[in-house]
Structure 1
Amino acid sequence: MQTNKRREVAVSPVVGVMLMLAVTIIIAAVVSSFSGGMAQSTPKAPQISIRAEAHNNTDIIIDFNGGDTVSGGAITLKTFIPSGMYQDMSYKVNLSDSANVIYLPTGAGLNNCTTSFGYTSCTWYNIQPGDKIQINWADAFAVTSYGPMAPAVGDPVDIEIYDSASGKMIATTQTIILP
């Protein structure tokens, strides 16, 4: 008579696959936790609330109503014309030129400006809720040989503020051009 003898010295294939799957999941979790920690190291863009008032051929006044305190050197300001003769025109305002921008009240924004060899350099201070920026009309819109490409009285204009580091929009408002 023949006897069947079974040799059981190895792990079954099903158990082996389950062990390999468990090890793979553990390694993926460790790698994910490390990469997730690196992604959180980027600073968040500040959040601010603004209101604007635009006077035709004079100026635009931007009120900082609330939110985070920001450095004037850390933001980029753009004007955008959503309708009218110059529809879809966008223009980046040069905030670093002390002749273009006036900060109200004194002590906020751009101070301690010095001019050397025709170049003006300034020290930026923080802009906080309650501060205002006044921008000259001609500096707020693109200028051609025919004059500024600006909206007319009664037309809307969007004022957008971007975080210079991330490029993300941190505030926007729309105002109507006043006479």
Structure 2
Amino acid sequence: MIRKINGKRNDMAVSPVVGVMLMLVVTIIIASIVSSLSGTLVGSEKTAPQSQIAVGYDVQITDTDKTNNVSDSPRNNNRFTFRLSGGEPISLDNIMIELNEGDSSMKFTSDTVLNSSNAAVEEGNSLELYENKAGNSTYFAVSPGMSDIVGVGDTFMLVADDSYDSTLATDDSIEKGRFLTWTPEGSSGTFKAQYNVPLEYIIYDTISNKQIQSGTIILQ
């Protein structure tokens, strides 16, 4: 039975309850929307392959004139080696290797074209240069017959263009040392990795833009 005062319904006690219930409903709806959006964002976030890579090098610097910074009779196929020791496979089309030494840095992908005009690289039984989708030789190399997919136990390589030994230089403008060098096609500069100086490497997955692995190499 509804009580009336002066012929009108007494809705004053009902309105606050309805208001509270409406606020609760709105709060629940908003919370559900936020939760749904958060779940969508988290679910769509891309991650890098979980891979373990053993990094090494196969380098020997030969030079007939050690008083300058010019390459004379360099050894072919100086390279860093990357062996997938465990985890998920990776594709050479989907990685980037960044090298950092001091203030210098250079990045290599399957779009970084080998400077074939002066590169001390020779294909043979030990390695085969990886060609990108445009048919250009890159700085990545694999064992003959390998595809772009690197599985557990497989090794891929990053070859150097050239090398030189300037340890006997007397010109103050020439930095003394033994160096590997990279000058990609179309590059405006040359990257150098010096013996006995820490070289940082970072391997990125280009799909997620996240690191797969990083570390330090010291040529000795």
TM-score (norm 2): 0.58
Percent identity for Structure 1 against Structure 2: 23
Q: Which amino acid in structure 1 is aligned with residue 205 of structure 2? A: D
Match of 1:138 among 152, 161, 164: 161
CA distance 1:59–1:67, shift in 2 (3 Å) = same
Given that 2:80 and 2:157 are in contact with CA atoms closer than 8 Å, whether structure 1 keeps it comes out as yes
Match of 1:89 among 92, 95, 104: 104
Check if 1:77 corresponds to 2:119. no
Q: Which segments of structure 1 move beyond 6 Å, counting only runs of 4 or more?
A: none
Structure 2: distance between partners of 1:8 and 1:141: 90
Given that 2:54 and 2:84 are in contact with CA atoms closer than 8 Å, whether structure 1 keeps it comes out as yes
Deviation string 1:92-138 (CA, Å, 9 cap, x unpaired) is: 1143453532213x4434xxxxxxxxxxxxxxx31112111122223
Equivalent position of 2:86 in the other structure:
66
Count of residue correspondences: 153
CA distance 1:63–1:101, shift in 2 (3 Å) = same
Equivalent position of 1:117 in the other structure:
none
Structure 1: distance between partners of 2:49 and 2:91: 10
Task: Name the structure, 1 or 2, with higher relative contact order (CA <8 Å, separation 6+).
Answer: 1
Given that 1:64 and 1:131 are in contact with CA atoms closer than 8 Å, whether structure 2 keeps it comes out as yes
Given that 1:138 and 1:148 are in contact with CA atoms closer than 8 Å, whether structure 2 keeps it comes out as no
Matches within 5 A, 1:9-158: 9-12=11-14, 14-39=16-41, 40-54=43-57, 55=59, 57=61, 58-81=78-101, 87-95=102-110, 96=132, 97-98=136-137, 100-104=139-143, 106-109=144-147, 125-138=148-161, 142-143=182-183, 148-158=190-200
Check if 1:176 corresponds to 2:218. yes
Q: Which amino acid in structure 1 is aligned with residue 155 of structure 2? A: K
Structure 2: distance between partners of 1:164 and 1:56: 31
Given that 2:201 and 2:216 are in contact with CA atoms closer than 8 Å, whether structure 1 keeps it comes out as yes
**Match of 2:209, SS?**
coil
CA RMSD in angstroms, aligned pairs only = 3.0
State the Cα distance separating 1:141 from its structure 2 match. Answer: 5.5
State the Cα distance separating 1:91 from its structure 2 match. Answer: 0.7
Structure 2: distance between partners of 1:45 and 1:25: 37
**Match of 1:43, SS?**
coil
CA distance 1:101–1:154, shift in 2 (3 Å) = same
Structure 1: distance between partners of 2:103 and 2:82: 21
Between structures 1 and 2, the one with greater strand share:
1
CA distance 1:77–1:177, shift in 2 (3 Å) = same
Structure 2: distance between partners of 1:72 and 1:11: 71
Gaps of 5+ in 1: 82-86, 110-124
**Match of 2:152, SS?**
coil
